[in-house]
Amino acid sequence: QGPPIASLQDNNFLNDADMVMSFVNLVEHDKEFLPVRRHHREFRFDLSRIPEGEAVTAAEFRIYKDFIHERYDNETFRISIYQVLEEHSDRESDLFLLDSRVIWAAEEGWLVFDVTATSNHWVLNPGRNLGLQLALESTNGESISLRVAGLIGRSGPQNKQPFMVAFFKATEVHLRSIRSALGGSKQRNPSQSKGAKSQVTLRMANIAENSSSDQMQACKKHELYVSFKDLKWQDWIIAPDGYAAYYCEGECAFPLNSYMNATNHAIMQTLVNFINPKTVPKPCCVPTQLNAISVLYYDDSSNVILKKYRNMVVRACGCH
């Protein structure tokens, strides 16, 4: 079991995001730093797998801190996180301070650092992604090991490994087809005979009387459960096991009742179809409202992703 991809404090990010992606630390062996930075630790994350069209709305680096029994509860440490700007062969790397804070020895839980600006820079400039460095100091400014403060590194349990999490929102604008609503039409021929009006009215009445609008066959929502196991997707989808998708089926026959959510165009098409079925077909029973679902899955690099897929669940059906 890996670290949590998101927590309760992420509710605002989750509501705004279409996708949440976690990144594992790619550093397998601690780098040997010069004495002044001998206790620094390096972290690198591969952001090249981010899908096109996804913009980073927030990104965080997270590292877990255990309670320290060997230290005084009121003892404090200063933890600092840096972006690596440039690496050199003959001296230490150039660093940029991203965040610094004081932590207590008695603290326990995930420490979260905002790296949104840095991650956006890395996405736009992949060649500049040289990772992060973390440093820890005692109250007197002495550089100390992360382990002294209870910070968990690669040797710790799997569910407490340091990681990075990013929240994304799709940037593409999906244009919906514009439906023209039919307004009240002006009467073009005021001198239309009363006989013609009566004939149309009589015909519509006969259609309404003779049409067997069976409620069981009318356009409506039906049950449909999609199992990811049946689709052979269980190896890469973590959750859910499946979901209630529903589907739309049924007749769009005259008269169209209000619960059929018919457009004005569909109403007119239905009338024309009844008068002359060879002219146009009946309107189709289709989803008119759709909801999203969230899916937790692994990508090709074994990163854990929580993505919101829009228009996956039928909420309402109608005649269009």
Instruction: Give residue-wise pLDDT tens across range 90-102.
Output: 788 899 999 999 9
* Of 54-58, 81-85, 131-135, 234-238, minimum mean pLDDT range: 54-58
Residue 79 has pLDDT above 90, yes or no: yes
Across the range 27-38, mean pLDDT stands at 65
Looking at per-residue confidence, does 42 or 51 come out higher?
42
Mean predicted lDDT score pLDDT of the chain: 79
Rounded CA-CA distance 21/176 in Å is 28
Angle at CA of residue 126, ends 125 and 127, nearest 5°: 90
Query: How many CB atoms are located within 10 Å of the residue 27 CB?
Result: 17
Looking at residue 61, what is its pLDDT?
Answer: 95
CATH of the domain at 281: 2.10.90.10
The parent domain of residue 271 ranges over 214-292+308-319
Q: Is residue 19 part of a domain?
A: yes
Do 49 and 125 lie in one domain? The reply is yes
Across the range 241-270, mean pLDDT stands at 84
Residue 48 has pLDDT above 60, yes or no: yes
Rounded CA-CA distance 28/112 in Å is 22
Do 250 and 117 lie in one domain? The reply is no
Residue 203 has pLDDT above 80, yes or no: no
Residue 182 has pLDDT above 50, yes or no: no
Helix (H) or strand (E) holding 260: none
Q: Which residue has 């239905």 as its token pair?
A: 270
Q: Count the alpha carbons within 13 Å of 320 in the hemisphere toward its beta carbon.
A: 13
Query: How many CB atoms are located within 10 Å of the residue 58 CB?
Result: 19
Looking at per-residue confidence, does 301 or 293 come out higher?
293
Across the range 15-21, mean pLDDT stands at 80
Question: DSSP strand E in the chain: where?
Answer: 19-24, 41-43, 54-65, 76-86, 94-104, 109-114, 132-137, 163-170, 220-222, 225-227, 237-239, 242-244, 247-249, 285-298, 304-319
Q: Would you place residue 307 in the very low, low, confident or very high pLDDT band (cuts 50, 70, 90)?
A: confident
Rounded CA-CA distance 99/82 in Å is 7
Across the range 287-313, mean pLDDT stands at 88
Number of domains composing the chain = 2
Instruction: Give residue-wise pLDDT tens across range 213-236.
Output: 445 588 899 999 999 999 999 888
CATH of the domain at 155: 2.60.120.970
Q: Which of 170, 186, 203 is the last residue of a domain?
A: 170
Do 220 and 92 lie in one domain? The reply is no
Q: Report yes or no on whether pTM surpasses 0.75.
A: no
Dmax over CA atoms of the chain, in Å, equals 103
Q: Which of 118, 145, 170 is the last residue of a domain?
A: 170
Q: Is residue 183 part of a domain?
A: no
